Amino acid sequence: MSAVAELPRHSDDRGHLVAVTAGVEVPFDIRRVFWIYGNTDGRDRAHHASRRTTELLVSVAGSCLAKLDGPDGTHEITLNRPDLSLLMPPRTWLELSEFTPDCVLLVFADTAYDPDDMITSRDELNHVTR
């Protein structure tokens, strides 16, 4: 089940700090971290699901729209705060769009990258989830 959650923010007169811990705010052991940025031409990203990887997405700057289609239905979430996270379980179709020019989308994953983990068509996803 995908889930949106607020991350703990610590604020004072100097600004804000958000920290995450594997197994706590990130509900898995982190095996890979990557970020998406520089999407200046308005092109969509993702359009895939994974077979076994769980990811946690956080927009640390700017914003983007995440469209999800999974076992718990279809949802749209705007990721626009560095203290807001989106948990993406396996077999959930993800489309990312509407990136602002300053968007930096940080992703924590529970597996190392494996191209064979990617499901790149909805037909294949429907076959996998039956």
The pLDDT tens digits of the residues spanning 28-76 come to 999 999 999 999 777 999 999 999 999 999 999 999 999 999 888 899 9
Q: Which amino acid is at 120?
A: T
Instruction: Give the sign of the dihedral formed by CA 34, CA 70, CA 121, CA 51.
Output: positive
Enzyme catalytic residues: 48
- Classify residue 119 as exposed, middle or buried by CB count within 10 Å of its CB (0-12, 13-18, 19+): buried
Domains of the chain: 3-129 (2.60.120.10)
> For residue range 74-122, what is the model confidence (pLDDT) as tens digits?
999 999 999 999 999 999 999 999 999 999 999 999 999 999 999 999 9
- pTM above threshold 0.85: yes
